[in-house]
Structure 1
Amino acid sequence: MKDKLHSLKASLQKAGKLLSSKLSNVQFRGAAASSAGESVLKSIGLQNGLKSVGAKLFLIFFVSILFFVLTVGLTSYVISKGIIQKKVASATEQTITLAGEKLDLLYANYEDLSMQVVLDNDLKKMITEYEATSKGSYDNLLLKQKIGEKLNVYTYSNKTIKSIHLFKGNGEPINTSSATFSKESLLQEEWFKKIVENNGKATWLETRSKGFADGGSASPSFAVGRVLKGLTGTTSANGDAVLMLEINIDAVGKELTGIEMGEGGRTVIVGPDGKLLYDANPASIGADSAIGVAMESFKDPNGNLLSDNEKMQLVYFKSEKTGWFLIGAMPVAMLVKDAGFIFWMTWIMALIAAIIAVAIGFFIVRMIGRPIIMLRNLMKDAQDGDLRVRMTVISQDEIGQLGQSFNEMMEKITSLVQQTNLSAHEVLITATELSEASKQTATSAKEIAVATEEIASGASSLAVESERGTELTHNIGQQMKIVVESNVVMGTAAAEVQQSSEQGIVYMSELTGKTNKTESMIRSMVEKVDHLKESTGSIRKILEMLNNISKQTNILSLNATIEAARAGAAGKGFMVVADEIRKLADQSRQSIAVVGEITEKIQREIDETVQVLSQAYPIFQEQIVSVKEADQIFKEVQSHMGGFIAQLSGVTESISELEASQLVLNDAMTSVSAVAQQSSATSEEVASLSSEQMNISSGLVRLSDKLEELSNSLKESLSRFRV
């Protein structure tokens, strides 16, 4: 049941895809015919074309009927297509399964025959005797001939066997009929290794397009092999022999005769690696099967499935004997060819349904679209101002009720417009009289306001200027205080600067003396370092002399050693003394070398010290010059500060007199400001009352003008309506 549901679901999905593609074609054709449809719709009174309600209803009926007819038809086509495909695939699967079982019986016969050969004791005895004789001897050749005749008996009993090959365990051929095998190449063959590894179990070898022998033959063949065990007295490496029955591929072809996969289909045998082991075309054996699906998809012993592109239906059977797959491939298009009648009938029914839908659409357009268009045209006339339009009501349905409501609405609007027109005329007369009175009042108010504003403006200006003078006087007083304080601070600072400059002159004198002493000390240090450099040179000369003495001592100790050796036993004591002298000479040489290194290091450091002092001496001279210049600057500062302090005293006296005059001016400006503020307050109060009266008059004039404009506008608007 679950498989049927899945199949039905897949069929519906395919139907949906096919339907969507067909509907897209219909939409494309509909777009191409849109201009013709527009003209048809306009011919029945739908001037707006596809934008009108009638056109939309027409399209809804047309598309709905066509959609459901196509959906049912195409769904039936896809479902029937799937059912036919499934039934044919099931029937073909049974055929392939029967053919595969027949092939398994054939394979079993070959396995039984190979087992019969393996269990033949006479053959084992001949092989044992053959290996016991020396190669190339008469007995060896005679036994080889007997083995061949024995194997030919099995060949004659089954004409499909191409040849029977027998090999030693080390790969040396025993009987190979007319084929040729080399021992070296045979041991490298995968099929030979596979037979030996299976150790007596039947081993099936996949089809080769030119056979298994070296050089190959013209006819393709497959083979079954076993290991003959239980041989005694053999000289082979493992005591076993290898048997291989080579079988013509035609034996399989005869069993598959009569299996038809239809036009474009085929029946093949494929190995686990996807290579062709049998095909009706012998030239393709050994090539890739090209079945359109991965070999991992064949999970069950038998079954059916679609290729990856879903264009081929595959049925298969896996052999229990060989593990090979018997596969039948059929084009899906051939399987579902009979379902095409349903497909074409669907399109014919869709055409008939389209004609019926057009007829129904025209009827709906005439029944609903025309009254709506008539009502729309009447509303446009009313929009333009003609309130006399009325709709002729015939039917009593919703459209008739809509027309009746439209007529009643137009009656009420007509009466409202007439009453509004009379009221607007009376308002216009009243607005004209009110406007004239308001203009006269506004003119008088403007004249009073202008005079009042001039008085207030003068008083305000006087108050502002007096307050400004008071603020300026006050600010001058504040600034005078700040100047006095700053003057005092400047005097104090000038005195401190003068004192500091005097102290700086003292310090600079001391610094000049110390700098001169430092210069003389550096000059003395440079002279002493030069003397030290000369002393190190003398030390180096002494070290060279000591080094020469150690070398001569070493040579003398060597000569003493040689003389002591010549003296024999009498010179042994002298030899010891000479050896000790040589050791002392070596130690002296090493010590002199160490002292020399130390002296070199002292020499380098002295040179560096001389270089540093030479660089520092000019800097000290520049420092002395700078100190003298700074001392001169301090003296000039001291002389200038004396004159600056005298000038500050005169400025302080002038500021004191200015401060007294400022106090008198401040009192006078305060009195003027008080009078000006009182006058400004009175003028502003009068000006405020005048401005308020003027604003009221202006507002009254604006309202009168606005009322007059509204009256005229209302009159013009009402004049558009015809009642």
Structure 2
Amino acid sequence: MKWGRIQFKSVGMKIFIILFATVVLVSTVLGVSSYLMSKEIIRGQVGLASSQAIEQAADKLDFLFTEYESISRQLAVDQTLKADLELVTNSSVDIVKKTEAETRIKSKLDAMKGSDSRLFGIRLTKKDLSKAYSSGGSSGTQNTEYAQAAFDKIQAAGGKPLWLPAMKKGFFDATNEPTLTMGRLLQNLKNPNGEFYLLIEVKDRAITDILSNLKIGKAGEVRVITNDNTIVHATDSSLIESQSFIGLDAAQLEGDDVSFLTTDDAGITQLVVYRQLKTVDWRVIGYAPESDFVSAADKLLYVTAGVLLFAVIVALLIGIYLVRVIGKPLEKLCNLMEEGEKGNLNVRTRFKGHDEIGRLGHSFNRMMEQISALVERTNLSAEELLNTAENLSMASKDTSRNAGEIAAATSEIAMGATSLAEEADKGVDIADQIGHQMENVMNLNSAMDKSVEKVIGVSQQGKEYMASLVEKTEAVSRMTGLIEENSGKLSRSTFSIRNILAPMVEMTKQTNILSLNASIEASRAGAAGKGFVVIAEEIRNLAVQSNNSIQTVSTITEEIQEAIENTVNVLTTITPMFDEQLVSVKQALQIFQNVMSEMESFVGDIQSSSASVHELNNSQSVLRDFFANVSAVVEETNASTQEVASMSSEQYKVSEELVQLSNRLEVLSETLRESLSVFIVDKE
């Protein structure tokens, strides 16, 4: 592989990119996963620890609130206090008793307040503030809207303790520090006028003392909020009565998790832990920036970056090694296969290894050697096929030419036979005239002389025609022999063609097997053998074309063989007929010679014709029978000649088809040579 020009489509580069990306991705995923898991583990552990601390603080607050609720129950069941309250509200009681009762009430309240420094004050008051008793140090009372609404809530509680959220300036908005108040209606069913509202004001510092040792993170804070997220207690007392930016909803309260993440007004992620109080529908929540807990996990990012850098370096080194070991040999093999695809069968690999790449290179070399040998053998077979086609074409042309000559000679024989038939008819007419004139033969000797001269002339002409017929019949016989000889040559040529086609069929089968093996090797090579598949496909197509050409030549050869056999069969049938015709013609010639001899004797004896009338009458009968026989022989000769002419025409057509088939065979041979010429093979 050339590094000057990076080839991203090469297998080596793809392997390098996949390996590099995999190592980097795995390292990154592992590092980030470790970081996120560490954060999650730290967050869970911190949340669990903080939740336990918050739970302890909530238990302390519940204990505190339970303690003051217990005080309120003591006052609610205190019969002395109940009697004093009835007494101070009874208008019929004198002032001394009322004063004593009020003194006892104040003393009780002072005693309770004095025993607990966390209390800001304890009050017993009417709703309209017409009667109010408080412990020493308590602030004054003011009839405010908040106070009246609180009294309504306390009354709705039906004598049960009710905790009211802390107020910055106390219940009556008259203190200089925040307090939270527990209210309770001291019921008096017998004397409703003696009912008072008990207000126990607890200093906000009481909650601060409980939560002071609780730390959430470095900059965390613990708060107590109501069910509507109103702040009851906060480190910054100015936030009391305001809404907390971190609150809880019903879904969070119903869930099993005691911690969650949220974002404050500044966009900082806060880890929040909470606990529901048992005595009152308030929640203790603690929160701190998440970064206070997971800052140690941030160090994992630097470790991950270092590991990622090391993984990148290792991936680069391994990728370069794989590119050199796999990518470069595959690229060389692809280039060689492209050369082979262009027809250069001299390309070879020089891989020395024994791994899959080396085995692929050795298999490629063996395949190219086998293809080269196959192409050389196919070239030799094509040369032999072309020579055979040329010989077959020449023999076919000779056969066609001879068939044409036979057809012409047969036509001439037919014409001669026709003339001979006409002359035979004339002889019959003359013989009839001789028969009619036999009665006056003595008076018509001169006419008989003329008739005899005509008969001699006709006999001489018949003799000449018969001699010509003998010569032409002998020529037809010789041409028939030539046709049989040429047919034998054609038969032997077709047999040679079949012998040549047999190894070519075998070579085509071997080529198909070789292309199949090449396809299998290419499939094993995977993507690297795509070019190899192209060569195998071309070889298979070449084998298919060769097989089709061989099948075509074989079919043509069989057609030629069949035509030759038909021609031989026709000639075998014609030859005896020609022999019989030759015998008949010779007999006719002998007859004409006999006629000449007889006519000459007749001329010699014409002077004694009167004495030889009886003999002449017999001779006239013989002559008539002779001409009848001659006419019949001529008719038979004419029919045989027409049959020979028809067979000659068929033989001429067969010869013409044989010439065309030979020309097609030559064209196919040239096409096969041109197809093989694209391959370059060393010729040693």
Asked if structure 1 preserves the Cα contact closer than 8 Å seen for 2:229 and 2:247, the reply is no
Q: Which residue of 2 is the match for residue 92 of structure 1?
A: 50
Asked if structure 2 preserves the Cα contact closer than 8 Å seen for 1:88 and 1:335, the reply is yes
Asked if structure 2 preserves the Cα contact closer than 8 Å seen for 1:303 and 1:316, the reply is no
How much has 1:202 moved relative to structure 2? Answer: 2.3
How much has 1:311 moved relative to structure 2? Answer: 4.3
SS of residue in 2 equivalent to 1:76: helix
2:261 aligns with one of 307, 314, 327: 307
Q: Which residue of 2 is the match for residue 489 of structure 1?
A: none
How much has 1:380 moved relative to structure 2? Answer: 1.9
> Is 1:200 aligned to 2:159, yes or no?
yes
Normalising by the residue count of structure 1, what TM-score does the alignment of the two structures yield? Answer: 0.51
2:227 aligns with one of 249, 255, 272: 272
1:294 aligns with one of 234, 241, 249: 249
The one-character-per-residue Cα deviations of 1:561-583 (angstroms, maximum 9, x if unpaired) are xxxxxxxxxxxxxxxxxxxxxxx
Alpha-carbon separation, structure 1, partners of 2:2 and 2:280: 78
Asked if structure 1 preserves the Cα contact closer than 8 Å seen for 2:122 and 2:200, the reply is yes
Compared CA separation, residues 135 and 50, structure 1 to 2 (3 A): farther
Q: Which residue of 2 is the match for residue 321 of structure 1?
A: 279
1:226 aligns with one of 184, 203, 210: 184
The one-character-per-residue Cα deviations of 1:374-413 (angstroms, maximum 9, x if unpaired) are 2222222222222222222422333222222222221221
How much has 1:697 moved relative to structure 2? Answer: 11
The one-character-per-residue Cα deviations of 1:482-536 (angstroms, maximum 9, x if unpaired) are xxxxxxxxxxxxxxxxxxxxxxxxxxxxxxxxxxxxxxxxxxxxxxxxxxxxxxx
Asked if structure 1 preserves the Cα contact closer than 8 Å seen for 2:16 and 2:323, the reply is yes
SS of residue in 1 equivalent to 2:61: helix
How much has 1:255 moved relative to structure 2? Answer: 1.7
Q: Which residue of 1 is the match for residue 203 of structure 2?
A: 248
How much has 1:432 moved relative to structure 2? Answer: 7.3
How much has 1:352 moved relative to structure 2? Answer: 0.9
Alpha-carbon separation, structure 2, partners of 1:700 and 1:351: 83
Q: Which residue of 1 is the match for residue 336 of structure 2?
A: 378
Asked if structure 1 preserves the Cα contact closer than 8 Å seen for 2:147 and 2:171, the reply is no
Normalising by the residue count of structure 2, what TM-score does the alignment of the two structures yield? Answer: 0.53
> Is 1:367 aligned to 2:367, yes or no?
no
SS of residue in 2 equivalent to 1:258: coil
Paired residues for 1:307-456 under 5 Å: 307=261, 311-428=269-386
Compared CA separation, residues 420 and 102, structure 1 to 2 (3 A): same
Asked if structure 1 preserves the Cα contact closer than 8 Å seen for 2:349 and 2:361, the reply is yes
Asked if structure 1 preserves the Cα contact closer than 8 Å seen for 2:276 and 2:283, the reply is yes
Paired residues for 1:427-506 under 5 Å: 427-428=385-386
How much has 1:137 moved relative to structure 2? Answer: 8.4
Amino acid at match of 1:290: F
The one-character-per-residue Cα deviations of 1:94-113 (angstroms, maximum 9, x if unpaired) are 22222222222322332233
Asked if structure 2 preserves the Cα contact closer than 8 Å seen for 1:210 and 1:216, the reply is yes
Q: Which residue of 1 is the match for residue 14 of structure 2?
A: 56
Compared CA separation, residues 110 and 700, structure 1 to 2 (3 A): farther
Alpha-carbon separation, structure 1, partners of 2:664 and 2:98: 143
Asked if structure 2 preserves the Cα contact closer than 8 Å seen for 1:93 and 1:303, the reply is no
1:108 aligns with one of 66, 87, 91: 66
1:180 aligns with one of 141, 144, 169: 141
The unaligned stretches of length 5 or more in structure 2 are 401-649
Paired residues for 1:584-623 under 5 Å: none
Asked if structure 2 preserves the Cα contact closer than 8 Å seen for 1:273 and 1:295, the reply is no
How much has 1:268 moved relative to structure 2? Answer: 0.9
The one-character-per-residue Cα deviations of 1:576-596 (angstroms, maximum 9, x if unpaired) are xxxxxxxxxxxxxxxxxxxxx
> Is 1:258 aligned to 2:213, yes or no?
yes
Alpha-carbon separation, structure 2, partners of 1:82 and 1:223: 41
Amino acid at match of 2:312: A
How much has 1:349 moved relative to structure 2? Answer: 1.4
Compared CA separation, residues 327 and 186, structure 1 to 2 (3 A): closer
1:128 aligns with one of 78, 86, 93: 86
Asked if structure 2 preserves the Cα contact closer than 8 Å seen for 1:293 and 1:308, the reply is no
> Is 1:211 aligned to 2:165, yes or no?
no
SS of residue in 2 equivalent to 1:49: coil
Compared CA separation, residues 429 and 223, structure 1 to 2 (3 A): same
Bigger Cα displacement from structure 2, 166-175 vs 333-342? 166-175
Alpha-carbon separation, structure 2, partners of 1:435 and 1:211: 133
Asked if structure 1 preserves the Cα contact closer than 8 Å seen for 2:333 and 2:349, the reply is yes
How much has 1:249 moved relative to structure 2? Answer: 2.0
Paired residues for 1:684-695 under 5 Å: none
Compared CA separation, residues 76 and 426, structure 1 to 2 (3 A): same
Alpha-carbon separation, structure 2, partners of 1:246 and 1:146: 20
Amino acid at match of 2:369: E
Compared CA separation, residues 718 and 118, structure 1 to 2 (3 A): same
SS of residue in 2 equivalent to 1:286: coil
Alpha-carbon separation, structure 2, partners of 1:274 and 1:286: 10
The unaligned stretches of length 5 or more in structure 1 are 1-40, 442-691
How much has 1:134 moved relative to structure 2? Answer: 7.6
What is the root-mean-square deviation in Å for CA atoms of aligned residues?
Answer: 4.3
Alpha-carbon separation, structure 2, partners of 1:361 and 1:323: 65
The one-character-per-residue Cα deviations of 1:327-376 (angstroms, maximum 9, x if unpaired) are 11233332122122233212211211221222122222222222222222
Asked if structure 1 preserves the Cα contact closer than 8 Å seen for 2:273 and 2:285, the reply is yes
Alpha-carbon separation, structure 2, partners of 1:153 and 1:78: 58
Compared CA separation, residues 707 and 313, structure 1 to 2 (3 A): farther
Amino acid at match of 1:307: L
How much has 1:280 moved relative to structure 2? Answer: 1.8
Asked if structure 2 preserves the Cα contact closer than 8 Å seen for 1:171 and 1:183, the reply is no
How much has 1:229 moved relative to structure 2? Answer: 3.7
> Is 1:42 aligned to 2:2, yes or no?
yes
2:34 aligns with one of 76, 82, 103: 76
Asked if structure 2 preserves the Cα contact closer than 8 Å seen for 1:211 and 1:219, the reply is yes
Q: How many pairs does the alignment contain?
A: 425
Alpha-carbon separation, structure 2, partners of 1:386 and 1:114: 111
How much has 1:417 moved relative to structure 2? Answer: 1.7
Amino acid at match of 2:315: A
Alpha-carbon separation, structure 2, partners of 1:80 and 1:702: 92
Alpha-carbon separation, structure 1, partners of 2:131 and 2:302: 68
Amino acid at match of 2:3: S
Alpha-carbon separation, structure 2, partners of 1:376 and 1:90: 64
Greater radius of gyration (CA) = 2
Alpha-carbon separation, structure 2, partners of 1:183 and 1:206: 16
SS of residue in 1 equivalent to 2:2: helix
The one-character-per-residue Cα deviations of 1:9-52 (angstroms, maximum 9, x if unpaired) are xxxxxxxxxxxxxxxxxxxxxxxxxxxxxxxx6328xx672322
